[in-house]
Amino acid sequence: MSKIICSAAIRGAHNIVDKAEQKYQEALDKWGPDHAVGFPNTAYYLPIIYGILGVPVSKLGDVRPVLEKCRSLLPPLVSEKVWLPYLAPTLEAGMATFFAEEIIEAIRYLEYPDFYTKQEDPIGGNIWLGAADDIILRKRGVEFVDGTAPGFAAILGAPPTKEIAAEIAKELQEKNLYVFMCAENNGVRMSEQLVEAGVQIGWPTRLVSFGSDYTATVFAMGFATRAAMSFGGIKPGDFRGNLLYNKNRIFAFAMPLGPVSDEWYANAAGAINWGFPVIADTPIPEILPTGICTYEHVVSNVPHSEIVQRAVEVRGLKVTVSKIDIPVSYGPAFEGERIRKDDLYLECGGGKTKAVELTVSRDMDEVEDGHVEMIGPDLDQIKDGSKLPFAMLIEVAGRQRQEDFEPILERQIHHLVNYAEGIMHIGQRAIMWLRVGKAAVEKGFRLKHLGTIMHAKYHQEFGAICDKVQVKIYTEEAKVDEVLALARKIYAARDKRVDRMTDETEETFYSCTLCQSFAPSHVCIITPERTGMCGAYNWLDGKASYEINPTGPNQPIVKGECIDPVLGKWKGTDEFIFKASRQKFQTASAYSLVHDPMTACGCFECIATILPLCNGVMIVNRDYLGMTPCGMKFTTLAGMVGGGEVTPGFLGVSKHYIASRKFLLAEGGLKRVVWMPQMLKKELEAKLKSRGEELGIPNLFDIIADDTKGATEEEILPFLEEVGHPALTMESIL
Amino acid sequence: MALEIPKVSYSGKIREIVLGKGDKAITVGGGTSYPFYLFEGQMPLKPRIAMEVYDSPPDDWAPTALEPFADVAGDPVAWAKKCIDTYGAEMIALQLVSTDPNGENRSAEEAAALTKKVAEAVDVPLIVWGCNNAEKDTEVLKKIAEDCAGRSLMIGPVTEANYKQVGAVAIGYEHTVIASTPIDINLAKQLNILLGNLGVPDGRILIDPTTGALGYGLEYGYSVMERIRMAALTQEDERLQFPMVCNLGKEVWKTKEAKQSRDEAPKLGDPAKRGVLMEAITAQLVLAAGADILIMRHPESIALIQDMLNDLLAA
Ligand code: SF4
């Protein structure tokens, strides 16, 4: 920790404890040790002292041991010559500061019973509210728990003008934060500035004018300490539990505005104990590395226009956007809407113009949250029936940069844009196609609003992985070309990365138990090379879904020791299956249809099964309604193998898995496949061909029989023999 | 040689939850075996029945259902008292149907004022059940929790859509939450995890697995309840070891069969008995599946179930 900060904080703490001792002595002389002392209407005594030390102060006499504790916590003043790691003693000095300040404030209640209004609002000329009583605590504390108010800003001092004060207050309010104000900067106080600026203050507007003095900081800290006791079940005296509760759940920070005095430093040091970082507008030394706080501890010299945004980032507060500010309706009801030629105002992509959409992750400082920019003509600058080149570049940043999630986020563009009334979106990447209807344009819809939508929805649905979102929309050919070139590079890198990812390279797989709602013992194990059988969840989806919803149906499975690389069995997956199937199954193979195949739920894209005569495997997809060589149609098969049961010889598979290198590895892989409906073959043509090349059987695609060759084993066998299908000479599948 | 009956070995126990406050407080849960399998474990605390009270006069009830309450139907306080004084109810469940935005749409303030009146008039544990519209329930249950601070109500249904808001007031004002999920063991478990993460103490969570009436999906609820119990007792699933509540009276009595007169359904037997038996059978089945608290309507079906419980639990 910075020596300057430490020495100043420790000096400040000494001053404050001295002052408390003096106040206590005076009060004792005047009222005697049995006189009641405390904050009004609370069961938490002096809450910081009670919460941290477990000491209930109710009489003046109870104060003495607390002051003694302060003395014992106070480190000696820092000398010029010696430099020790000062973090721990400084934090202790910060604690002593708060105990002492609570004592000072409690005695103030004795000396001047009407100094504070003791209510939610200012009364007449008195704007100082003082400690929140238990009724306010409950009512407001609930908002901290349910997230309607994620936390608070404890502001000391005041910005240079009342306009800036109003601006900062408004920005904090917009982030749903409470603003707890105290202390003066050169005789000016932010609460007073707000009143002058005509801003309504008090608990109802979340602009809480706690007190005129810096010692009123303890009302903010006491509020947090009580919240932990009352909502977190933390026992008085469990200081560790209390501080951690606050660090993890109350998104608060201290914001000193104006020159930082020794006493302010002491208060700041105290706040750091609670995990509340300090964001200052003056050039005080910074303390960046993390340790007590989640991220940085002290960040300084931040311009007023950026201070709220910076504070929110440093504290790791998630932005919530509750309303999507666009002039057309928005919701799933509009997803399937088509825009016909006659209603068309603008068309982009779809083979008519160049068009591309791209989501990329950036570093935190490269993205300005909420920034939406339109480069090129928007809808009000073009004629009805126009076509334009189009590029949408969405840049997201999170505290943890997760390039892995780019494709998942990008894939959402399709339905998120489609939700807007009067807008039609088809496809993705560089084959996207956008249509905007006349009615939407008449209502005031502009292309720029696509950015508004994406910003809001990424925050709403992917807040766990996106902290900042900015969107640029281009309709100028040259710019679109630039984005297109960038996109091509990124797509290539992404595809390569996914391609390189194998079940061997990743240590963690993901589960999916979504289908347990109708197939109680079903568990999908999703590996990089084996997607969920419905085809809707690949490994990255599993990972993202877990990050977004950690208690949801996709859980990480550390695969652990490999039991059998050919069957695809690991210790970790077996343990997971045992638990997640509620002890119904002990094991499952990821790559076999014969030996301990996975359970099947019912929503598999395809079913694979054995054709004994051909010594091979056939695959049929859900959309194929005809008869298959195993003697059953898809529907009959599905009725046989679903419901979360294991049926050796039958396996639910996704289309994607068919072209995987791990497809039925135990049975010999893709070479075993002797029949598929032609429609499925066509759909997978490119992938199957390239897998055939890889396997050294370049004509594999052509020698897999399909419904044009026959729908019984007897019909297709001659064809297989004629083309020399490898399955015929492989070892017996049974 | 004597026949040795194989026994299930249990590793879990249902949490004991205290409902209400003071002398009339009730504890439920505590089971260490499948329901009524007294040869395998214990069921130390008997399942309890809460009698329904409606917040507005019912207009479409079967005459049989209405008859016992005809004199109190417009007055929830009198209704609650009658349940206790005349029918010996050990718990009351206040059904706030009139808050439904698609119906009367009574305000949260009105609902809270009424709940407070009922809460003050009775000393038995009080369940408060919203209208099953997550948004409206949030508003209503928040206000009720606040206005009835410290009364230790059981409030629900708390769903994934509103668990944060309702959970938070339950913590702050010391009530018990009824965690409600649509017939799905994993969702039930997830909601309990979420409530725990939010800070709701484990001693203040009840599960509502969603109950259908006899002939109206009862079997789905039944098998999910069974699975919840299996997970809790034999698979150490700690987040499912909470007592279960079944809000069944409402479901049974809204069925066509419970309401039809002799003329409308001549083949379905005596309408005066029909609904009562349907309710009793539904109750009996959910008890066998593991219910700890039943919300029921008719005094006669309740009497039948009390009889059955006494028989089954007699040592
Ligand atoms: S089939 Fe799809 S949705 Fe169902 S469990 Fe598997 S991955 Fe999940």
Q: Which of B176, B169, B183 is nearest to B138 (CA)?
A: B169
Q: Which residue type sits at B257? A: E
Please state, for a pLDDT cut of 70, what percent of chain A lies above it. Answer: 99
CB A677 within 8 A of CB A706: yes
A81 — pLDDT class (breaks 50, 70, 90): low
CB B128 within 8 A of CB B155: yes
pLDDT at position A290: 67
Per DSSP, what are the bridge partners of residue B154?
Answer: B127, B176
H or E stretch covering B67: none
H or E stretch covering A176: none
CB B286 within 8 A of CB B223: no
CB A14 within 8 A of CB A192: no
Q: Does A520 touch chain B (CB under 8 A)?
A: yes
Residue of chain A whose Cα is closest to the Cα of B183: A517
List chain A residues with CB under 8 Å of B169.
Answer: 142, 146
Q: Which of A75-79, A250-254, B43-47, B118-122 has the lowest mean pLDDT?
A: A75-79
pLDDT at position A537: 86
Ligand 1 pocket: which residues have CB below 6 Å? A 512, 514-515, 524, 532-534, 536-537, 601, 603
**The dihedral of CA A58, A64, A65, A66: what is its sign?**
positive
DSSP state of A55: -
The CATH number of the structural domain formed by A134-315 is 3.40.50.2030
Q: Which of A137-146, A286-295, A596-605, A651-660 has the lowest mean pLDDT?
A: A286-295
Please state, for a pLDDT cut of 70, what percent of chain B lies above it. Answer: 99
| CA A242, chain centre distance (Å) | 24
Cβ atoms within 10 Å of B308's Cβ, excluding its own: 15
Residues B151-183 pLDDT 10s = 999 999 999 999 999 999 999 999 999 999 999
Q: Which residue type sits at A275? A: G
Mutate to test the pocket of ligand 1, among A521, A598, A601, A607 (most ligand atoms within 8 A of CB): A601
Q: Does A150 touch chain B (CB under 8 A)?
A: no
A295 — pLDDT class (breaks 50, 70, 90): confident
Q: Which residue type sits at A650? A: F
List chain B residues with CB under 8 Å of A230.
Answer: 171-172
Residues B236-271 pLDDT 10s = 789 999 999 999 999 999 999 999 999 999 999 999
List chain B residues with CB under 8 Å of A575.
Answer: none
Cβ atoms within 10 Å of A586's Cβ, excluding its own: 11
In this predicted structure, the answer to whether residue A381 has a pLDDT above a threshold of 60 is: yes
Residues B267-288 pLDDT 10s = 999 999 999 999 999 999 999 9
d(C-alpha B139, C-alpha B96), whole Å: 13
- Tallying the residues shown for chain A, one arrives at 734
d(C-alpha A707, C-alpha B116), whole Å: 71
In this predicted structure, the answer to whether residue B9 has a pLDDT above a threshold of 90 is: no
Per DSSP, what are the bridge partners of residue A42?
Answer: none
d(C-alpha A651, C-alpha A673), whole Å: 13
Order of strands, sheet of A616-621, starting from the edge strand that comes earlier in the sequence: A650-653, A606-611, A616-621, A673-675
H or E stretch covering A287: none
B315 — pLDDT class (breaks 50, 70, 90): low
SS3 A232: coil
SS3 A520: coil
CB pair distance less than 8 Å for B199 and A139: no
In this predicted structure, the answer to whether residue A1 has a pLDDT above a threshold of 60 is: no
d(C-alpha B141, C-alpha A222), whole Å: 28
Q: Which of A147, A233, A553 sits opposite B199 (nearest CB)?
A: A233
Residue A612, CA distances (Å) to A153, A566, A642, A713, A725 in order: 71, 21, 22, 9, 14
d(C-alpha A185, C-alpha A187), whole Å: 5
Q: Which of A145, A147, A517 sits opposite B186 (nearest CB)?
A: A517
Two tokens, residue A481: 């070309």
Specify the residue with its C-alpha closest to ligand 1, atom 2.
Answer: A534
| CA B99, chain centre distance (Å) | 19
Average pLDDT over residues A24-34: 96
Q: Which residue type sits at A134? A: D
List chain B residues with CB under 8 Å of A143.
Answer: 168
Domain A508-729, classified CATH 1.10.3720.10, yes or no: no
Residues A652-705 pLDDT 10s = 999 999 999 999 999 999 999 999 999 999 999 999 999 999 999 999 999 999
Q: How far is B168 from chain A (nearest CA, A)?
A: 5
> How does A430-469 read in b/e, with b if 16+ C-beta sit within 10 Å?
bebbbbbbbebbeeebbbebbbbbbbbbbbeebeebbbbb
Return the beta strands (E) in A94-157 as ranges: 152-157
Per DSSP, what are the bridge partners of residue A422?
Answer: none
Residues A430-463 pLDDT 10s = 889 999 999 999 999 999 999 999 999 999 888 8
pLDDT at position A82: 58
What residues does each domain of chain A span?
3-111, 134-315, 332-497, 508-729
Q: Which of B168, B187, B230 sits opposite A145 (nearest CB)?
A: B168
pLDDT at position A84: 59
Residue of chain B whose Cα is closest to the Cα of A514: B186
- Which top CATH class is A332-497? alpha beta
DSSP state of A535: S
On the 0-12 / 13-18 / 19+ scale of CB atoms within 10 A, B263 is exposed
User: How many Å lie between the centroid of ligand 1 and the Cα of residue A513?
Assistant: 6
Q: Which residues contact B123 (CB under 8 A, 6 or more apart)?
A: B22, B23, B24
Specify the residue with its C-alpha closest to ligand 1, atom 7.
Answer: A532
Topology alike, domains A332-497 and A508-729: no
Q: Which residue has the higher pLDDT, A540 or B92?
A: B92
Q: How far is A413 from chain B (nearest CA, A)?
A: 24
pLDDT at position A519: 85
- Give the CA radius of gyration of chain B: 19
Q: Which of B20, B93, B108, B36 is nearest to B249 (CA)?
A: B93
A80 — pLDDT class (breaks 50, 70, 90): low
d(C-alpha A113, C-alpha A280), whole Å: 33
A107 — pLDDT class (breaks 50, 70, 90): very high
- Which top CATH class is A3-111? mainly alpha
- Structural domains of chain B ordered from first start: 47-312 (3.20.20.20)
In this prediction, does ipTM exceed 0.95? no
CB A587 within 8 A of CB A599: no
Q: Which of B172, B194, B237 sits opposite A142 (nearest CB)?
A: B172
- Say how many CA atoms lie within 13 Å of B158 toward its Cβ: 32
Average pLDDT over residues A411-421: 92
SS3 labels along A326-341? CCCCECHHHCCCCCCH
pLDDT at position B314: 86
CB B283 within 8 A of CB B299: no
User: How many Å lie between the centroid of ligand 1 and the Cα of residue A624?
Assistant: 21
Please provide residue B88's backbone torsions phi and psi, each rounded to the nearest 5 degrees: 65, 30
Residues B179-206 pLDDT 10s = 999 999 989 999 999 999 999 999 999 9
Give helix B163-173 / helix B134-147 axis angle, nearest 10°.
10
Q: Which of A517, A552, A583 sits opposite B235 (nearest CB)?
A: A583
User: How many Å lie between the centroid of ligand 1 and the Cα of residue A207?
Assistant: 48
d(C-alpha A68, C-alpha A71), whole Å: 5
Average pLDDT over residues A339-367: 92
Interface of B with A (CB under 8 A): 142, 146, 149, 164-165, 167-169, 171-173, 184-187, 190, 193-194, 197-199, 201, 227, 230-231, 234-235, 237
Q: Which of A573-587, B79-93, B101-115, B296-310 has the lowest mean pLDDT?
A: A573-587
Per DSSP, what are the bridge partners of residue A652?
Answer: A607
**What average pLDDT does chain A have?**
92
